[in-house]
Amino acid sequence: MMELTNHGTLYEQWLQNPGIDEETKAELRAIEGQEKEIEDRFYKELEFGTGGLRGVIGAGTNRMNLYTVGKATQGLAQYLLRQGGNSPSVAIAYDSRHRSPEFALEAALVLAGNGVKAYLFESLRPTPELSFAVRHFGSSAGIVVTASHNPPEYNGYKVYGPNGGQLTTAAAGEVTAEIRSLDFADIRRLTREEAEAKGLLEWLGGEVDEAFVTAVTSASPNPQAAQANGGALKIVYTPLHGAGNVPVREVLRRAGFPHVAVVPEQELPDPDFSTVKSPNPEEKEAFRLAIELAKKDDADLIIGTDPDCDRMGAVVKNPEGDYFVLTGNQSGAIMIHYLLDSLKEQNKLPDNGLVIKTIVTSEMGADIARSYGVEVMNTLTGFKYIGEKMTEYEDGRYTFLFGYEESYGYLAGTYARDKDAVVASLLISEAAAYYKSQGKTLYDVLQELYGRFGHFLEALESRTLKGKDGLEKIGRIMDAWRNEPPAEVAGKAVTQALDYSQGLDGLPQENVLKYTLEDGSWFCLRPSGTEPKIKIYFSVKGETAEQSASELEALRRAVMSRIDE
């Protein structure tokens, strides 16, 4: 394994390595003498976070490039071969980002070089379709090349296990150990022609697409109602230059929604995401063009999906006729209510129904689920933990109904083990059509739910701290809160301090701190596993919107003043 203590030495090794291509070397020569830049590119190897790699595209050990992708894939191949079993295979998909097709093909050819068959999609596909494909083919693993909603200069590489969920913590640790034992010279690969001739590279297309779309539409809780009500609903959809354009439109068409207008400027793939600051449906700015189109069409609902189509954001009309962007928690609460209510009306609600959410997701959806007699379970942040629970309960103890997280990730149905913006687009559209038939908007439904369950209000703050210095600062912040927990915040006593690095509630150990106050409000500190930032989550519950807003602002001010010291 290469020694990483001297980034300057590594820089020179890359320049002198005959296995590194000339284009990469030219990029490195262009930063000669830029000590800080060289350090950032070489001070560490790009590491597995919550299921794989993610980083800025470029030359260096701490960058996304053909060599870091090849090395990660070599490690994955060795891990799979060590597991034994006959004829291991890996399904591979990718999104619209820079270098995604090249990285996906490189992964396929390295797998082939190790005798592992690769099923590679012929063009961009949604991440949830990759999860589906792993299960569909009974593959040993899956890879999706994506950086989700990160800025254009990023790309990533997520690894999935045989259940179709992101790689478990234990398995990721074993793959990481394999990767760390390697040098670039250890990477084995075939040419595309060799891989195809040996049957180790199979291209995927329409047949898998059809199976995926069929599986998604089957997750509808009441397809007859959707067909009856869908024609009255006007939808504006934006794929934000990503992989959702074809599958979302096809699923909505089949479900009975003929009036879907796509934002033309954002319809086609664009790795620069040139119409938005960030291709993230969590941010209102991403919906600017969609809202303009919705106003012209007098649309009832706006849907946006991120580049790899695993996150869905929705925008609805308020009583003033303005378009209101729902938070991930609000959309989740509405979908849970619609899903469970539909099943109950048809006497299809199982006695052992289960909703799974994360520890930083609002309790509103949980309270709604429990009102229908449905069990609710918490997991750590990251949909892979929801996927793990789904697999655990395949024994019949529970019937999985819905899984979600506040960051706009949702799943209904068991065809996949990752969040799916395609099925979320279907559910939110069905809900909008159903309630429109009753003379209500989704905004009206949300206010009714607040009236029944309390006015929950959440917020998320983050601080991006890049590079080695940023990583160390995030560590110091967590250490300070862990070693000196507050006795009170915003004038309210802290009644519970949870340190998930201790492995609480049967969950895996993770560097997360959560504090609950005497009135039930809470906040949580969590370093991101995929980005150079620390995230701070807040939640309050008041009797009115005004009370909740006031209490939330006080809580945010108190916590962030200490974070920013």
Q: For position 499, which CATH number holds?
A: 3.30.310.50
- Average pLDDT rounded to a whole number, residues 184-211: 96
Mean of pLDDT values over 81-92: 92
What is the rounded CA–CA span in Å between residue 415 and residue 350? Answer: 18
Q: Domain boundary residue among 178, 204, 230?
A: 204
What is the percent of the chain where pLDDT is above 70?
98
Among 148, 331, 342, 425, the active-site one is: 148
Number of folded domains that form the chain: 3
Answer yes or no: do 323 and 465 share one domain. Answer: no
Could you tell me the two tokens for 22? 């000339």
371 and 315, same domain (yes or no): yes
Co-location of 459 and 501 in the same domain: yes
Spatial neighbors of 104 by CB under 8 A, at least 6 apart, are 92, 93, 94, 120, 121, 143, 145
Instruction: Give CA–CA dist 324/301, Å, rounded.
Output: 10
Domain boundary among 204, 232, 255: 204
Give residue 50's pLDDT: 56
CATH of the domain at 188: 3.40.120.10
Q: What is d(CA 409, CA 93) in angstroms, rounded to the nearest whole number?
A: 19
Tens digits of per-residue pLDDT, 98-109? 999 999 999 999
Alpha-carbon distance 361 to 381, whole Å?
9
The pLDDT of residue 530 is 61
Q: What 3-state class would DSSP assign to 138?
A: coil
- Percentage of the chain modeled with pLDDT above 90: 85
CA–CA gap between residue 327 and residue 134 (Å, rounded): 31
Q: Which residues span the domain enclosing 131? A: 39-204
Q: Is 209 exposed, middle or buried (0-12, 13-18, 19+ CB in 10 A)?
A: middle
The pLDDT confidence band at residue 49, using thresholds 50, 70 and 90, is low
Region 267-278: mean pLDDT is: 95
Q: What is the pLDDT of residue 63?
A: 94
The whole-angstrom separation of Cα 539 and Cα 500 is: 18
Kindly state whether residues 287 and 170 are assigned to the same domain: no
Mean pLDDT calculated for residue range 140-150: 94
Mean pLDDT of 392-420: 97
Same-domain check for residues 366 and 391:
yes
Mean pLDDT of the chain: 94
pLDDT of residue 184 exceeding 90: no
Q: Do 223 and 199 fall into the same domain? A: no
Is the per-residue pLDDT at 140 higher than 80?
Answer: yes
Model confidence at 339: pLDDT above 80: yes
Instruction: Compute the distance between CA of residue 113 and CA of residue 441 in angstroms, rounded to an integer.
Output: 55
Domain membership of residue 24 (yes or no) is no
What does the pLDDT look like over 340-366, one tens digit per residue? Answer: 999 999 999 999 999 999 999 999 999
Same domain? For 187 and 259 the reply is no
Q: At what angle do helices 22-29 and 7-16 cross, to 10 degrees?
A: 140
> Looking at the structure, do residues 460 and 448 belong to the same domain, yes or no?
no
Nearest to 232 by CA among 423, 428, 422, 430: 430
According to the model, what pLDDT value does residue 536 have?
Answer: 97
> Which strands sit side by side in the sheet containing 533-542, from one edge to the other?
455-464, 533-542, 522-527, 513-517, 492-499, 488-489
- To the nearest 10°, report the CA torsion of 254, 259, 265, 267: 0
pLDDT tens for each residue of 469-508: 888 899 999 999 999 999 999 999 999 999 999 988 888 8
> What pLDDT, in 10s, does the model give residues 505-517?
888 889 999 999 9
Residue 3 pLDDT class (50, 70, 90 cuts): very low
| Residue 386 sits in the same domain as residue 359 | yes
Position 187 in a domain: yes
pLDDT, position 8 = 73
Same domain, 362 and 498: no
Check residue 5 and give its pLDDT: 44
pLDDT reported for residue 468: 77
Answer whether residue 564 shows pLDDT above 60: yes
Least confident of 80-89, 225-234, 324-333: 80-89
Annotated active-site residue 148? The verdict is yes
| Rounded Cα distance, 359 and 389, in Å | 14
Q: Is 494 in the same domain as 550? A: yes
What pLDDT is recorded for position 2? 40
Residues 133 and 243 both lie in one domain: no
* Residue 561 DSSP label: H
What per-residue confidence (pLDDT) applies to 470? 84
Domain boundary (151, 174, 204) is at: 204
